Structure 1
Amino acid sequence: MLDDGQIEAFITEGFVKVEQAFPRAVADAGRAILWDASGCDPEDRATWTQPVIRIGERGDEPFARAVRSPALVAAFDQLVGAGRWLPRNSIGTFPIRFPVDVAAGDDGWHIDVSFPGDDPTDYLNWRVNLHSKGRGLLLLFLFSDVGADDAPTRIRVGSHLRLPALLAPFGESGADLTQFPYEQATADLPEIAATGRAGDVYLCHPFLVHAAQRHRGTDVRFMAQPPLLTRSPCELDRPDGAYTPVERAIRRGLDG
């Protein structure tokens, strides 16, 4: 389980890293499945022609084991609240990043939207609101070792605390990513890279500003980035004051 220091770091910085949240052997088995799904040969670099290949949701046994690991279930309860999140039996998507000299063009700073606008099929118009309707966490599952040169996800530390004040004027209907200046409002914040070992998982606040980056290493990077979905939106005015860490961070952001 997460200790008090880790929970406070999550509230302040916007993420916590759970080391070896699932066994390396599970990561190895999942990676073998992803190699096969990618159509590339791990022993033949001539097949590595694209900077990124995206694999959708997978429910194979290694991925189901990873997302149901006891360490993660306990952490989900601590951060989002027991009974408030939807259990998963699969994870995805997987942006598999290759060390090729081609730009992927997908490395802009962003947050992840969580519910549809008028047209559910138009993902560009999906939205996010102050109560993070639909999403409790952003999860980064490392299925390979990820060093500083292996295209680790970039994170703007504390950026989630800048978002509540930007989202509050949009009410329950929320906003799409073109309607509020989250990138400019967080540009001065320090940046870290989500490095780690296969089996590590980053649990991120849903408002955390993050970005991909170009692969500058030698080994292929395997990661999943699913959401943890919720049964109901965050509540920011609880009579009993029993706020979850996700809610406490939103309230702290509103207080400035």
Structure 2
Amino acid sequence: MTTTLVTGGTGTLGRLVAGRLRTDGHEVRVLSRRTPPYAVDLREGGAGLGAAVDGVDTVVHCASTPRGGDERAAAHLIEAARRAGVRHLVYISIVGVDRVPYGYYRAKFAVERLVEESGLGWTVLRTTQFHDLVARVLGALSGPPVLVLPARIADQPIEVAEVAARLAQLAGGAPAGRAADMGGPEVRSFESLARAYLAATGRRRAVVKVPLVGRTYREFRAGGHLAPDRAVGKGTFEEYLAGRFGGRDGRRG
């Protein structure tokens, strides 16, 4: 039986990866900042990290935050993994990190390079955005009476459970380098996703599209974050919304 460490193992993706690995017969350790016995802040490193990777065959690195520190966290993890003789490091990234000059994407791309240059066996999987992230963004935007969207932007959301299953599969195999990207089943205008969200949550909002400026917006508008040729996901955004909001009575403000 192999031992696999999942960083960020209590998060949206990590907990599903850990569960899938256990179902597949792996012994799983979960690392997060606040969950014993492997409560470790990767940005700080320390002795706890060494204990977490000791005896581990594979690390699935899901821990990430747009608030900064991903590169430092990855450097600490890689150093500890080298010392422990970890065989395989699997990293989850985002489609477009090498094209869209958004700060968080740049950090993810930098971590990809650290993984590739780590000297460890490695696999990197890029996916498009998860359904729940798109829903969280739309929930925040739909708070005011008018829902303001960036004009001419599309997205390709994917079901997080499908990504978790693929990561678990990759973790159980040999290092694969850059795995084929995973995109959701449909490339959709952000307006259509917003209207689906409003319908599912019973919110009535005027939708206004506003053009933005700058290179980051241009790259998003050009579809640098999309993978239309890798639309391998099955679950649609409407199916996600039905599962999450289907029991509501539509009388939300």
TM-score by structure 1 length? 0.25
Larger radius of gyration: 2
TM-score by structure 2 length? 0.25
Considering fraction of residues, name the structure with more helix.
2
Q: Which structure has the higher relative contact order (CA within 8 Å, separation 6+)?
A: 1
